[in-house]
Structures are given as C-alpha cells and as structure tokens.
Chains A and B, each alone.
Chain A
Amino acid sequence: MERIKTRLGEIEIDERDIIDFPEGLPGFEYLRRYALIQDERTDPIKWLVSLEDENVSLPVIDPWLVRVDYSVEISPADKRLLKLEDVKDALVLCVVVIPKDSPEDATVNLLAPVIINVRENIGEQVILDDPNYTIRHRIVDEMERSRKLVDQDVKTSAGTESEG
C-alpha cells in the first residue's frame, strides 16, 4: 500500500492498481505512474491520478455514456505498446475538460482516448485516425445526439414488432 496526495485528497493505492504509462501523456510526458480512482461524488466521472505529481489528476469518462455509437480502432503500434493481445482487456476512457465559469460547456476528447490494458496495467493516450472525432465535443450536445439515436432505435424496433 502506498499513500499518496492528490487533488481529490489523500488516497491509498495498492501496488497492483498502479498503471504504467510508458510514454507518459501528452503534456505530462515525464509522468509514468497513474491510478484510476473512482469517487462517488463525481460518478460517472473517474480520475486518472498521477502518483508522481499531486497536481495532475485528469477527469475521464466512459465515452459510450456520451456517444452511444463511439468506435475505437487501436493501431498495431498502440497494441504493441499496450501489450494488448485481446481487445476485451482494453478499458477506454476519454478526458473531460470543464470550463470553470461554464460547466455546461464541458467537452470530451473523443479523438485521443486513454486506453488501459487492464490485464497488464499498461496505459496510453492514443490519437485516432478518424475524421468523425475531435478533441473537443461538447458533452451536452453529444448526449442530446445519443438520446435521439437511442429513441430512433426504440421506435424502429417497436415498429418492426408491431408489423411482425
């Protein structure tokens, strides 16, 4: 067990929960060791917390909560770095930016998801080659879009049922 100070307060980290980012994260290339922290006050947002710099904690979210039809293709180079043999071991999270004076304008980075190989505890922030995604999707707009998509789906399947 390791006690570390973070922006969320002091937390205890088990050695087994330490995630290694061999290349760091863009902006924090020199920081390698992180932990993924759940805080019920901020659920569904989790925190990627640096174990080496107490000022670095990134709020992250499951991208499918924001964009139901999100898709990620992990390149062979990234799979290699992550030692990822089975994509089922990949945990995908996206970084959230919350403007201080207007949280309703919070954005999520769908272009550069953080991928964690949960079997090996190796992480990397990859940059996708996908024109559908950008670094700043407004969360409110994405959720509205997702709601419409789900509604459409429900209507379509309901229609099929009544016909059948």
Chain B
Amino acid sequence: MLVLSRRANESIIIDDKIEVKVLKIEGGTVKLGIVAPQEVKIYRKEIYEAVREDNLQATSATVEDVCGLFKKSKCKE
C-alpha cells in the first residue's frame, strides 16, 4: 500500500483524472472531496461490504423458505 501524508486543502491525483482532496480534519474524521469522471464509481467501503454480506446470506434461501414468507397454499402442493 502506498502511504502519503496530506494536510487540509492538499490533494492527490490518481491516473491524471481522479482528484482526492482533504477538505477538513476534525476530531477523528477526515472530510474528503473527490473529483472524478462520471463513469468512476465511488462507494463507502463498509456499504459495499454490507451489500456483499447481504447477498451471501440471501443465497442460502430455498423454495421452502420463500413459501414460509408469503404462506402461499401453492407451496404445499
């Protein structure tokens, strides 16, 4: 991992087209400003991880589980 030190109002440029700027450092929080082309996707990592976790859990479902959800009589056939 590349490690760089930056102060407030300093930036880094990634691949000539993505700028990440440190806007504010306060307490334990760093506020970042990001300028990137529209096609670049930017997520908070913990949200992506949570979606991942949710998908992994979803895929353990069986037809019987779904039947339990809506209590449809069709399931008993």
Q: Interface residues, chain A, CB within 8 Å of chain B?
A: 7-8, 25-28, 39-45, 55-59, 75-78, 80-81, 95-98, 100, 103-104, 106, 109, 111-112, 125, 127, 135-136, 139
Contact = CB atoms under 8 A, between A and B. Distances in A.
A98 B55 contact: no
Name the prevailing secondary structure of the A interface residues: loop
Given A41-B74, A77-B38, A77-B39, A109 B54 contact: yes
Interface of B: 38-41, 43, 47-48, 50-63, 65-70, 72, 74-75, 77
Contacts of B52: 26-27
The 4 closest A-B pairs by CB, nearest first: A103-B68, A27-B55, A42-B66, A26-B52
B61 A26 contact: no
A75 B60 CA distance: 30
A44 B66 CA distance: 10
A135 B51 contact: yes
